């Protein structure tokens, strides 16, 4: 179809690579990502299918300054962690994360089977990402370039994504 791309998530390659600095990548190995909207040729927002295997996390706990996030749980059970504590969410749960609250979030799979959600995020320019629990931020420094930095602003060395 010319104006429509129809597919199943299984057609889209799945990856557990991470763009974070090397010392934080190992914690992401149990999170597998399929970039659905990219696969469909969409540019204005991302829709990813996230599968977290037992013992894994969706991401390091983080907050966006300008980009909203929306999650819809499809399968299994997650523990959502924010500054307010822990909350268990299962299939059909919706979770919205408005930009700019500074309250970091992530999802843990503490069960013995896979858990899956859809996540939507926009691509508002100038977004920065803060991580309350670890010494890393994705933000512009004095040089104005958005990159992975320590909390003192010094950049992490550039290394291949993996």
Q: Which residues bind its own copies (CB under 8 A)?
A: 1-9, 36-37, 39-45, 47, 63, 67-68, 70, 72, 80, 82-85, 87, 89, 92-99, 101-105, 118, 120, 122, 124
Min separation Cβ 126 and its own copies, Å: 13
Min separation Cβ 158 and its own copies, Å: 29
Q: Which is nearer to its own copies, 22 or 127 (CB)?
A: 127
3-state secondary structure of 124: coil
Rounded CA-CA distance 140/89 in Å is: 34
Beta carbons of 156 and 148 less than 8 angstroms apart: yes
What's CA 146's distance to the chain center, in Å? 17
Min separation Cβ 131 and its own copies, Å: 14
DSSP line for 65-85 = SS--EEEEEEES-EEEEETTE
Q: Which is nearer to its own copies, 117 or 148 (CB)?
A: 117
């Amino acid at each position: 179809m010319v104006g429509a791309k129809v597919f199943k998530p299984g057609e889209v390659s799945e990856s557990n690579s991470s763009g974070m600095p090397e010392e934080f990548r190992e914690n992401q190995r149990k999170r597998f990502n399929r970039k659905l909207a990219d696969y469909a040729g969409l540019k204005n927002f991302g829709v990813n299918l996230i599968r977290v295997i037992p013992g894994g996390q969706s991401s390091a706990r983080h907050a966006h300054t300008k980009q909203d996030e929306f999650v819809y749980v499809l399968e299994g059970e997650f523990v959502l962690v924010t500054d307010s504590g822990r909350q268990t969410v299962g299939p059909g749960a919706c979770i919205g994360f408005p930009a700019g609250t500074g309250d970091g979030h992530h999802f843990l799979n503490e069960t013995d089977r896979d858990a899956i959600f859809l996540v939507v995020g926009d691509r508002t320019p100038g977004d920065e990402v803060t991580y309350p629990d670890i010494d890393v931020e994705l933000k512009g420094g004095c040089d104005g370039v958005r990159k992975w930095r320590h909390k003192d602003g010094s950049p992490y060395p550039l290394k291949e994504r993996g």
